[in-house]
Amino acid sequence: MTEDKTLGWALFSMRIGLAILFLIWALDKLLNVGHAKAVFAGFYGQNAETMSDVLPYALGAAQLLLVLAFAAGAFKTISYGALLLMHVATTVVSFKMHADPFAVPNILFWANWPILGALIAMFLLRDRDRTMSV
């Protein structure tokens, strides 16, 4: 296999793996609105009691469309960049969880870092991500 084909399949596998992760997060907003509201309350300073269900549904729908574009390799600068920025925001607002990594469930938040690295790599290599891409 040539170097370009190897890179292409590596980027494709990373794109699909990341898309699966973000798909679950988008579906959580659409299928488990109560959990989405709790996340907004805990990390983004929203009041879950007074928050309308419209916000999680709207964000979940927008995120779902973005993830589908990303999975297809469409609109690369926009879809790859938007997912990267969205994850940077997630990492920043959950940063306090990194201060005490061994407290339950904080260790799970350390997955933010390799995800962030993968998204940066995908964005930087987006023009080379052509395998099974539109």
Amino acid at 50: T
Using alpha carbons, list the distances in angstroms from residue 5 to 75, 96, 116, 118.
Answer: 21, 40, 24, 19
**Structure tokens, 5:** 């084909």
The predicted pLDDT at position 96 comes to: 87
Mean pLDDT, rounded, for 43-68: 89
- Could you tell me the pTM of the whole model? 0.90
Mean pLDDT, rounded, for 58-84: 97
Task: Assign 1 a pLDDT band (cuts: 50, 70, 90).
Answer: low
For 20-48, the pLDDT digits (tens) are: 999 999 999 999 999 888 888 888 877 77
Domain boundaries, the chain: 3-128
For 74-103, the pLDDT digits (tens) are: 999 999 999 999 999 999 998 888 888 898
Amino acid at 108: L
Cα separation of 46 and 5, whole Å? 46
- The more confidently predicted of residues 23 and 55 is 23
**Exposed, middle or buried, 25 (CB in 10 Å: 0-12/13-18/19+)?**
middle
DSSP 8-state symbol, 94: T
Mean pLDDT, rounded, for 60-73: 98
